[in-house]
Structure 1
Amino acid sequence: MANTGEQSWQRVPIDPQSVDAPLSRAAVFLVVTVGETPEALATVKDVLGGITDQVKTVGFRDLDARLSCNVGIGATLWPRLTDTPLPRELHPFREIAGSVHTAVSTPGDLLFHIRAERSDFTFELERQLLDALGDAVEVVDEVVGFRYFDARDLLGFVDGTANPAGGDMSQAAIVGDEDPEHAGGSYVVVQKYLHDLGSWKRLPVPSQEGVIGRTKVENIELDDAEHGQKSHKTLATIVDEAGVEHDILRDNMPFGRPGHGEFGTYFIGYSRALWVIERMLERMFVGDPEGSYDRILDFSTAATGTTFFAPTRGFLESLGG
């Protein structure tokens, strides 16, 4: 399961989607299921095949808005779309049941991860996509995210600090020649977390910092606990049997509706290897050691959980014939 190395990734000619797009001010996370009819499948193929042009059609109005859209395909839909074998690790999200908290598995055939510096651009692209898809799909989850101050989550902590950058990003998030048919793609896991902000705010700041593993104001990393309860930061750090640390690329966004008492974080992780995210979630929900789960889960409940594969742009274009 160890990473195959940077050189193997660099040897592969790839055309990845906008996985490496910078953190945006606005985002839409749209998860849909696809109807069973041949007509529904044909419509979906046509829309996916033309999505690069669709992004250009909306985005040309203001190039500084940096509109992008990544498409993820679920394991159940994949064989309906193409004869190309499934990516090596792709399978539906597997529920992870710990002693107290559960990472639930929820439906989803397609993920549209829309990002821009302007929320009107994300809105317009989503509107046009859903108009084009029509009754071929059913929306099962829709979350509108926003950047909160200096990239903080609604718990008040900076999110995504440990993200890889530059060449390290590609090494962490983009499949290489270990799976040559799918080189340039990326595994994607999404979860919608709902926060109990009232309980969280009653927790003293030093205790909050112990849960997260960083200081709240300065965002300084705290030392790992040598014994006892591990922090979220430590549990989310994955090291394989050879001692190699494996990163993922997070593009989490806060969301909320104060009038409905809804506050949350939409987790989205891109990874070269699905097992890395799965091991991270297992450490969070089951614990390390078992039973010593991530204490952030006492305040944040996973309401969804779905796995996708984001293939290359060329793959998507080929679906449209």
Structure 2
Amino acid sequence: MSGKNWDRVPIDAQSVEAPLSLAAVFLVVTVGSDKAALSKVASVLGELDDLVKNVGFRDLSGRLSCIAGIGADLWARLSPDRRPRELKAFAPVKGPVHSAPSTPGDLLFHIRAERSDMCFEFERILLDSLGSSVTVVDEVTGFRYFDARDLLGFVDGTANPTGLDLPASALVGDEDVEFAGGSYIVVQKYLHDLGAWAETPTHVQEEIIGRTKIDNIEIDDDDKPRKSHKSLATIEDDAGNEFDILRDNMPFGRPGQKEFGTYFIGYTRYLWVIEKMLQRMYVGEPPGAYDRLLDFSTPHTGTTFFAPTRPTLQKLADGAQG
């Protein structure tokens, strides 16, 4: 859904609009409780763009980028008087069969590039810079899988907004002027039961996902009592206006450990959109008719962040060091 007065939103947002990459790292850390740790983290956040440039210059075609997202608790420490209107901790969701947990995280670093070695080198230097001020609580290395498919075999991210709809869907607008140009981020790490999925007939898989597997065509299930993942993840208001989010999901896995997953990351202008999407998936619409994809995919993490504009990030860093 496109927002009004979009020309009033700053153009200095972090690189939320960067195109889908071949490689990514999702790094979630917590920050030590002492002032020294906070000051160190603030210093690194203030120098983040320089670090991206220092690593990225080695191959400009690698398109290295990094988005820093800040959790509600850390935001309160950095800026106790001002915060984005909707920012809060991830709210766990309890459904009749499946649940979405809430897990710790003060900072998210979403690192993207066309080369996995650039993601690796950036993360290595970043963590060296942060030192003992942070503790890594989750680290996932993602990869682009064939023609943008997940490990379940379906194309992922088809419904992403494009053109002017992208910033209007993913970046805060004049409804929260002080934080316009920022973006709410929700992340969840899902692990798949590929054995059970492989035993499920293709036509049933397609009904669960809401798209055909080979050619990625939407399946109309509006008249069916049990909605597909696609339908449950589509959010509309009472007037029928659809609210999009920007997904940059990535597959990950370790076959030797029987670990196969999808790292969900959603950027949104309105946090309530993703919250409503998760309620529909886990509780069901109508209640009880939950997303059948959850019978095969289990969330192990759930955390919410806010990625401010670059100037706001710099102000937070300067304030914590002052």
Is TM (by shorter chain) over 0.5? Answer: yes
Report deviation, 1:117: 0.0
Deviation of 1:239 (Å): 0.4
Other-structure match for 1:72: 69
> Which whole-Å CA distance do the structure 2 matches of 1:28 and 1:84 have between them?
32
- For 2:222 and 2:156, the matched residues in 1 are separated by 21
The alpha carbon displacement at 1:79 in A equals 1.6
1:106 maps to: 103
| Corresponding residue for residue 287 of structure 1 | 284
Q: Secondary structure of the residue that 1:127 maps to in structure 2?
A: helix
Distance in 1 (alpha carbons) for counterparts of 2:192 and 2:9? 41
Q: What are the residue-to-residue correspondences of 1:206-225 with 2, within 5 Å?
A: 206-225=203-222
Q: CA deviation at 1:176?
A: 0.6
Partner of 1:194: 191
Aligned residue runs from structure 1 range 99-248, under 5 A: 99-248=96-245
* Residues in 2 aligned to 1:36 and 1:304: alpha-carbon distance in whole angstroms: 22
Cα pair 2:3 2:169 within 8 Å, conserved: no
% same residue: 68
TM-score (norm 2): 0.97
Deviant stretches of 4+, over 4 Å? none
Deviation at 1:241, TM superposition (A): 1.4
Contact map agreement 2:284 2:291 (CA 8 A) in 1: yes
Q: After superposition, give the CA deviation of every residue in 1:263-301 in whole Å (9 maximum; x if it has no partner).
A: 000000000000000000000000000000000000000
1:68-117 deviation line (CA, Å, top 9, x unaligned): 00000000110211245110000000000000000110000000000000
Alignment RMSD (CA, Å): 1.0
Output the amino acid matched with 2:55. Answer: V
Structure 2 residue matching 1:76: 3-state secondary structure:
helix
Aligned length: 318
Residue 254 (structure 1) aligned to one of 242, 251, 266: 251
1:319 shift after superposition: 3.4
User: Which whole-Å deviations, capped at 9, do the CAs of 1:235-274 have from their partners, x for residues lacking one?
Assistant: 0000011211000000000000000000000000000000
SS state of the match for residue 175, structure 2? Answer: coil
The 3-state SS of whatever aligns with 2:274 is helix
Q: Distance in 2 between matches of 1:177 and 1:249?
A: 19
Task: Give the counterpart letter for 2:296 in structure 1.
Answer: F
C-alpha offsets along residues 123-157 of structure 1, whole Å, 9 cap, x if unaligned? Answer: 01100110000010000000000000000000000
Say which SS state the counterpart of residue 306 (structure 2) adopts. strand
2:85 aligns to what? 88
Corresponding position of 1:48:
45
Q: Distance in 2 between matches of 1:92 and 1:65?
A: 33
8 Å Cα contact 2:112/2:119 also seen in 1: yes
Matched-pair contact (CA < 8 Å) for 1:46–1:319: no
Cα distance in 2 for residues equivalent to 1:203 and 1:141 = 31
Q: Secondary structure at the match of 1:6?
A: coil
Cα-to-partner distance string for 1:171-204 (whole Å, 9 max, x where unaligned): 1000011101100000000000000000000000
Deviation at 1:228, TM superposition (A): 1.4
Task: Give the residue type in structure 2 aligned to 1:233.
Answer: K
Q: Which amino acid aligns with 2:262?
A: T
1:225 CA drift (Å): 3.6
| Residues 17, 310 of structure 1: 8 Å contact kept | yes
Partner in structure 1 of residue 298 of structure 2: 301
Specify the alignment match of 1:24 in structure 2: 21
Q: Distance in 2 between matches of 1:242 and 1:14?
A: 30
Report the secondary structure of 2:138's partner residue: strand
Gaps of 5+ in 2: none
Is the CA contact 1:185–1:309 (under 8 Å) kept in the aligned structure 2? yes
Give the SS at the match of 1:161: coil
Which of 303, 309, 313 is matched with 2:310 structurally?
313
Contact 2:37 2:134 in 1 (8 A): yes
Matched position secondary structure for 1:165 = coil
Does residue 63 (structure 1) correspond to residue 60 (structure 2)? The answer is: yes
